[in-house]
Amino acid sequence: MAILITGGTGFIGSFLAKELFTSTNEELILFDYIINEKRIKSLKDDPRISLIKGDVSNRTFLHSQLEKLTDFSTIYHFGSLMPPLTESELTDAFNINIQGTFNVLEFARLHNISQVVYSSSGAIYGPGVDLPVTEQSFRDPWTMYGVGKVCSEVLGSFYHRRKGVKFTSIRFPALIGPGRTGKGMTIFANNIIQYPAQGEKAICNVEEDIAVPLIYIKDATKFLASLHKREDIPEQTYNIDGVWIRANELAKYVQNEISDAIIEYDPDPELTFMLRSWSMMKGESNAIFDDLGYSPSYSPEEMVKDFILEVKTNPDYKI
Ligand SMILES: NC(=O)c1ccc[n+]([C@@H]2O[C@H](COP(=O)([O-])OP(=O)(O)OC[C@H]3O[C@@H](n4cnc5c(N)ncnc54)[C@H](O)[C@@H]3O)[C@@H](O)[C@H]2O)c1
């Protein structure tokens, strides 16, 4: 049997591949539009790893490539267009993030693949969501990125209820970790750690008291790997709140580890405003702990320490 990861050489996909490589004996098929070999350098030559370059929005190609392969136990669907491109390239956002999810679910149905795990986001909630946020809160996204997440969840629930594909969507806050790139709203939190760890100055583009909910990539991927072949998942959607940390708190943790770290602030007023009104995931949901036993093992200080060590000792995480 094999595990398919779409977006398999992206940030989350590559960390998950490393986790599943050790926690299972299955083959891993990493499907990605752009293959980032650096991220999977330690795995890529192993016979248990296959790389497929392709576009999840192209159903004919996706299905024909995967049909040639072995049986799949689980699909982790992470291939996605990311913000800010989702907000300017609406057709691509629709094709990749909505049609792409449909294509993956159809493949699962046609080939009796019993499990699809999806990475959703707090972006499914709009700025007007009532607090505290729970899994039952009204999904009313204001971004095309969030629209793609809601549509994917609704499609997944349909396949779960009516078509025999077990679907689980985990709504993550910001995930941070070594080597994350991109231009998303929360990338400042990553940059505050990443650049000093590689001996460079970090420029933080939000005001220093801005806080965002964070999860360390290693906690997230360990948890995602624990869902593989898991039968007792009562719900289809789960929120993970993350730990709210201010930019200046993160900077302090970094400076405790790297005394000469330079972290400067050059706030973008619009981004700061958007993040101040961000209610996403100000939650009070315990379902992820109660139903699925999610239990992060890194405190914020331990996360920063581990992140810095990884960047310093593994050149593949340099950006
Ligand atoms: N990083 C976070 O903080 C975060 C938080 C919540 C949810 N998520 C979700 O997790 C998933 C993975 O995010 P990530 O942080 O690893 O981002 P990432 O940009 O590192 O990975 C996304 C991957 O998708 C691939 N991709 C893009 N278009 C594709 C296409 N048409 N066909 C196949 N693959 C395609 C990219 O090449 C990339 O490898 C996404 O769905 C994202 O929305 C991420």
Q: Is the CB of 34 under 6 A from ligand 1?
A: yes
CATH of residue 260: 3.90.25.10
Does residue 13 line the site of ligand 1, with CB under 6 A?
A: yes
- Alpha helices (H) along 184-262: 187-197, 217-226, 247-257
Q: Does residue 9 sit in the same domain as residue 101?
A: yes
- Per-residue DSSP letter, 238: E
3-state secondary structure of 51: strand
Give the nearest ligand 1 atom to 122 CA: 6
Say yes or no: 38 and 187 in one domain: no
Q: How confident is the model at residue 127 (pLDDT cuts 50, 70, 90)?
A: confident
pTM equals 0.96
Same-domain check for residues 162 and 144: yes
Q: Does the beta carbon of 7 lie inside 6 Å of ligand 1?
A: yes
Whether 27 and 167 share a structural domain: yes
| 220 C-beta closer than 6 A to ligand 1 | no
Residues 91 and 16 in one domain: yes
- Same domain? 308 vs 234: no
Residue 116 lies in a domain: yes
- Number of the ligand 1 atom closest to the C-alpha atom of 182: 19
Specify which residues 29 forms β-bridges with.
4, 50
- Residue 25 Cα to ligand 1 midpoint, Å, equals 25
Domain presence at residue 288: no
Residue 68 lies inside a defined structural domain of this protein: yes
Residue 146's closest CA among 168, 130, 124? 124
Domain assignment present for residue 139? The answer is yes
**Residue 81 is assigned to a structural domain of this protein:** yes
Give the residue numbers spanning the domain of 206: 175-214+242-280+297-317
Name which residue leads in pLDDT, 291 or 70: 291
Indicate the number of domains in the chain: 2
Question: 204 to each of 109, 188, 197, 304, how far by Cα in Å?
Answer: 45, 6, 15, 16
Q: Quick check: 244 and 250 in contact, CB under 8 A?
A: no
Cβ of 295: how many Cβ atoms within 10 Å?
11
Domain check: are 188 and 155 in the same one?
no
Confidence of residue 126 (pLDDT cuts 50, 70, 90): confident
Query: Do residues 169 and 263 share a domain?
Result: no
Bond before 132 cis per omega within 30 degrees:
yes
Token pair listed for 305: 């320490």
Task: Residue count of the chain, please give it.
Answer: 319
> ∠ at Cα 146 (215, 65), nearest 5°?
85
To test ligand 1's pocket by mutation, which of 9, 11, 35, 107 has the most ligand atoms within 8 angstroms of CB? 11
pLDDT of residue 171: 95
Q: Same domain for 207 and 117? A: no
If you measure from the C-alpha of residue 164 to the centroid of ligand 1, how many angstroms do you get, rounded to a whole number? 26
Domain presence at residue 289: no
Please tell me the distance between residue 182's alpha carbon and the centre of ligand 1 in angstroms.
10
User: Do 44 and 180 sit in the same domain of this protein?
Assistant: no
Helix, strand or coil, per DSSP, at residue 16 = helix
Mean pLDDT across the chain, nearest whole number?
A: 94
Domain CATH number, residue 17: 3.40.50.720
pLDDT in tens, 265-317: 999 998 888 888 765 566 667 899 999 999 899 999 999 999 999 999 998 89
Model pLDDT, residue 281: 60
The verdict on 186 and 221 lying in the same domain is: no
Tell me the two tokens of residue 178: 């070594």
The predicted model gives 173-178 an average pLDDT of 96
Q: How far apart are CA 170 and CA 147, in angstroms?
A: 16
For residue 63, tell me if it sits in a domain: yes
Cβ of 124 below 6 Å from ligand 1: no
**Could you tell me if the CB of 9 is within 6 A of ligand 1?**
yes
Spatial separation of the C-alpha atoms in residues 171 and 134, rounded to whole Å: 11
Per-residue pLDDT, 274: 80
Q: What is the 8-class DSSP label of residue 99? A: I
State whether 79 and 138 are in the same domain: yes
